[in-house]
Every structure is written in structure tokens, then in C-alpha cells.
Amino acid sequence: MKGKDAIRSTMKFCDMVYRGYMSDLDDSELLRRPSEGCNHIAWQTGHLISSEVRLLESIAPGKAYKLPEEFVAAHAKDKADSDDASAFLGRDEYLALWDKVRAATLNAIDEMSEEDLDAESPEEFRGFCPTVGDVAILISTHPMMHAGQLVPLRRQLGKPVLF
């Protein structure tokens, strides 16, 4: 398996887990916080989508899916405490947007050579992602950093254990 294959495989696995956890949540449940101090799933999912676009743009300029500015603003860090339902999307809308963003990411990764993945990452990421490939791995694994917040919410809602 080559580096790009591992990145694609990781993306597929992390997508399966995150989307699995979201699969039976309704739109109102996306706005519930799993615990005090946690972000609700709508904000969190939008954050993942926005972050993927920003990270991809940093390593493959012009290749990322273009998000509406109001979407990016609604999912910015300073909006994490917002409970305004009108500022957020429904599950199906988030997942459709996720698919568009992920397709652009996969296309960009496909266009990169193995040498491109070894190139130095943008300076702002070098402390924790020294190469372009490391940033691609961050994009791949970022959903798993947040998936754990879906588990206690699912338990509170009486949803089945999935994984």
C-alpha cells in the first residue's frame, strides 16, 4: 500500500464511523450537546467540513470545494456555543455537503505524487504536521477526533451501539 492508498483508506474508515454515528439522528438531535462544555453535533459536523476545506486549501490551493461564507461563519470557533437552530443545517444537508467536500479532497490527493506528500507543509502546521502528507492524514483522521462526542449523545438518546 502506498501513502495515498493509506490516506484514502483512512478517510473511508473514519467516514464510515462518523456517518454511522449520525445515521439515525434526527435534525433536532444534532443540536443537543452530549455534555456540558461539549459542542453540539451540528456545529461539530460543520466544523469538520469547514476545517477540511481550509486544510486542503493550505496544501492544494484552488482544489478545495468552495463553501458559502455564511456556512463557514456559522461553524467558526466563536460560534461553537450557539444554539440558534436557524444557523445550522439538517443531517442530510450536512452529509451531502460532506460528500462534495470529501470528493474534492480525494481528487486533490489523487493528483498528488508521493513526492508531493513528502513536501514540507505550510508553516502554520509544521509543528504538528511537518509534511503535506501529514496534513492529509490530519484531514483523514479529524472526524475521529470528534466522533467520541457522538457516543454519549447516542447513549442518552437510547440509540444502539454501533461499533
CA distance 74 to 57: 19
* Among 52, 150, 151, CA closest to 99: 52
- Secondary structure of residue 129 in the 3-state scheme: coil
Is residue 153 scored above 90 in pLDDT?
A: yes
Provide the 8-state DSSP code for 28.
T
For the record, the C-alpha cell of 156 comes out as: 442518552
Amino acid at 27: D
Output the pLDDT for position 107: 98
For the record, the C-alpha cell of 71 comes out as: 456556512
| pTM metric for this prediction | 0.95
pLDDT band at 40 (very low <50, low <70, confident <90, very high): very high
Is residue 163 scored above 90 in pLDDT?
A: no
For the record, the C-alpha cell of 96 comes out as: 451531502
Amino acid at 63: K
As a whole number, the mean pLDDT across the chain is: 97
Is residue 15 scored above 90 in pLDDT?
A: yes
pLDDT band at 64 (very low <50, low <70, confident <90, very high): very high
Output the pLDDT for position 113: 96
Residue 42 and residue 25 in contact, taking contact as beta carbons nearer than 8 Å: no
CATH number of 3-156: 1.20.120.450
Tell me the mean pLDDT in the region 12-19. 97
CA distance 73 to 79: 8
